[in-house]
Structure 1
């Protein structure tokens, strides 16, 4: 075949600068949240040893969300993230709702991360420092790391994730040593206030405080409510498709490794924690990592764990800056956001979209200066964020189901098929309904559940107004034409190479 008139398809405006090691660690960082280091104490105290099962079930369900993302992103070369395939498969309204909701999720999460960094972790070391100073410093630092190129985000997230991995591996090793030596210590039962003697053993999962389900059925249910937020960000690798080198090889490798990471980092660390310390001795107000490192004789345990959780929160904020900027860029190029946010720098970074996120993160200063960061309302807002992430995951699954029905030939030719694709999407969405019910069992999360529809009403009104704008209609038409041209060029290039 002659190749004189066949050219390689034009790449997306973004730069494919994220290597395999970046993608692997971004996937790990997304799967390991701050909730594991700080929130797992509360989860254990509520659910008991059954918290291990809670994390396994959530991880199992979200693995299939990730497999759906993987197959869909690789089914079309022009897809940059899940807003693209939702719009292509379900229509422009779906792209608008999913894109802006995902943006909202990460903005809220990023604000929460900045507040926690400045008012808790930095204050731990520098209690006299005004909280707004570290907040501004963190925002400026992360913006400077993201502005030069996408590699800045990749490298930052790589090392943030490495800190998390080292901390968890160190905890598991320390715990195994304590179990092997039969470590014995006195603890306070947080339920009764009595002093108990505990010996490190795997049997502690089944013999202490009522056994594996010692927290009772409702404790088990409440464990899901608390633990699900720890998995927020697991889909982050799905926003990197347009900036990943060789996505056909690197994205599947990152997604396939998720079950192993969940078993090692979540299940492994929780099993070790509950084996060393009786679950009835865990407090919702203390990091179990600090407790175990202290028992292992590490005098600076509290300082080390504070550094780890500070890094984890900074990693989450960094992910928020990256993902929101890319999502707004995607929305802008398809006519669903102001065109100014589609502008790229010479290094192909959406600078204006980054600045938008940075400005919104500065709203954390208002919460810090007014003291609202310590209010119940703050918990409600983070609950809303968690619920919106569940909406995004559900839209991904719906996109997958429609894709299988409308494009059976694409599914048949996929090199990365979702396993059990005809049944698992329905099972996972039923699980999400269970989570919604779990959120009704606590006053603060119930209030967040009631408030969440307000966001969707705002997005709905925004879409109805926008679709009547002639400029939006024209930009959307231009985008559809461009996508069709890119698709045809990619098809011709694959045929030529074959």
Structure 2
């Protein structure tokens, strides 16, 4: 397994179990949990705990389907490969390019967020400076080695975990002590059901929670893009996927329960981070700076993941002939450097566009919602590929040591759930606009695929 001095032909399995566990963890904890949880609590009340639990359970089955597929053939480098193999070249093309676009959009969102968080400490600094510095830093680190990406994600994710565990411990300690806030509110678990019950805004409030909460889970499938660079995937991939339910309970359910036990849900302000508020109540004077630092690392971690996964998607697309061949070339460090540079260029272009046209910030909400809609498309394709695998490769499924629980039936349940979320997105004006914009992306992809097929002289294309 000596690393050759010439250009390597394949991605190297440099990510250890330690890296994979925390990449999976970091992917499941988005910036949305730190900053967006105030809004979800004010919309849904205590029923938000149920919302996160339901979404988490559904996505666990998607991850299990992905895990069985990746381990059924270790030649699969990511979900592009099994989509192409099981559903046809169109699926690999649509899945890969959609996932690439999802992460470019998410990374643009995070880079803009990074600039905003830095302004907390340096209010007079032009916002484009930290945005540019962040992209250049992440680019240089990602170009170095795959292990460097794993190491970065390991420490970024660790900071998030420590912050959330501290919040849960502090929250429940205040409950145990019967803490009274300056406003006279007692910290007690009864706050979860005392004020209007579990569903204080009825079903409409409960359903409204799904629209925002589903965005908090984007990136949970990141483990699937690391498959080709994971040491001992048969052992490490199941470990990373199986820990998802525990993570969701600890990091989402317990954290939000701790917040609402200390601060009655009606007093949680939608536009403030409840994390900051809880640490302030606990008497931590530097709470705002502390959480700002955590959120900054969380956004940087997400942008880092975006760079990693987009470059690997371009590598996979080029490998399958869905993207220009140079994207399949690896640097001496076994990194798809051209894909990395192209993704960074698109990222900077998108971020620059936001700064050049300030009113694009409204369009920005639309674009991040669009990203979540497209992530659901990728998750659905994973489920469809699994159903095709069960139909076409019954023997491979029978031999699998990591079978998806519930099999095809659970695939249909998850697909029905995604359809239900899409219906919910129609209810709000801003999310409806994003939903209506999503077909534009698929039309563009369809045109791209038709042109590619015609160039390749495929017989199934109508010739002129």
* Pairing partner for 1:28 from 20, 25, 29: 25
Indicate yes or no: 2:100 matched with 1:113. Answer: no
Please tell me whether residue 198 in structure 1 is matched to residue 195 in structure 2. no
Correspondence for 1:82: 79
Deviations 1:98-151 (A, max 9, x none): 000000000000001101111x20111111000110010000010011001101
Counterparts of 1:347-386 in structure 2 under 5 Å?
A: 347-363=333-349, 364-372=351-359, 375-386=361-372
Structure 2 CA distance for aligned equivalents of residues 462 and 422 of structure 1: 32
Residue among 261, 278, 289 paired with 2:275:
289
The count of corresponding residues between Structure 1 and Structure 2 is 451
Q: Which has the larger radius of gyration?
A: 1
* 1:96 equivalenced with 2:93 (yes/no): yes
How far did 1:186 drift? 4.7
Provide the residue aligned with 1:164 in structure 2.
160
TM-score, normalised relative to structure 1 = 0.89
Q: 1:175 aligns with which of 166, 171, 178?
A: 171
Q: Is the 8 A contact 2:102 2:374 kept in 1?
A: yes
Q: CA deviation at 1:211?
A: 1.4
1:481 paired residue number: none
The offset of 1:61, in angstroms, is 0.3
Instruction: Quote how far apart the aligned CAs of 1:369 are.
Output: 3.3
Equivalent residue of 2:181, what SS? strand
Residue 75 of structure 2 aligns to a residue whose secondary structure is: coil
> 1:334 deviation in Å?
1.2
Matched-pair contact (CA < 8 Å) for 2:9–2:330? no
CA distance, structure 1, for counterparts of residue 155 and residue 249 of structure 2: 21
Question: Is structure 2 residue 421 aligned with structure 1 residue 435?
Answer: yes
Tell me the equivalent position of 1:335: 321
**Structure 2 match to 1:8:** none
- The reply on whether 1:133 has 2:119 as its aligned counterpart is no
CA distance, structure 1, for counterparts of residue 227 and residue 157 of structure 2: 19
What whole-Å deviation, never above 9, does each CA across 1:400-454 have from its counterpart, x for those lacking one? 0110011110000001000011311000111001100111111000000000100
Instruction: Name the structure 1 match of 2:266.
Output: 280
SS in 1 for 2:407: coil
2:52 aligns with one of 36, 51, 55:
55
| Structure 1 residue 445 corresponds to structure 2 residue 442 | no
Residue 142 of structure 1 corresponds to 138
Partner residue, 1:418 = 404
Q: What are the within-5 Å matches in structure 2 for residues 396-407 of structure 1?
A: 396-407=382-393
The residue that corresponds to 2:5 in the other structure is none
- Superposed CA deviations along residues 275-322 of structure 1, whole A, max 9, x for unmatched, are 110000111110000000000000000000000011101111000000
CA-atom RMSD, angstroms? 1.3
1:12/1:78 contact within 8 Å kept: no
Aligned to 1:260: 246
Deviation at 1:174, TM superposition (A): 0.7
| Counterpart residue number, 1:215 | 201
Distance 1:151 1:222 in 2: 40
Find the partner of 1:184 among 180, 187, 194.
Answer: 180
Given the alignment of the two structures, is residue 315 of structure 1 paired with residue 311 of structure 2, yes or no? no
In structure 2, how many angstroms separate the alpha carbons of the residues matched to 1:125 and 1:467? 52
CA distance in 1, matches of 2:171, 2:402: 37
Give SS of 2:402's match.
Answer: coil
The 1-side partners of 2:152 and 2:190 are apart by 40
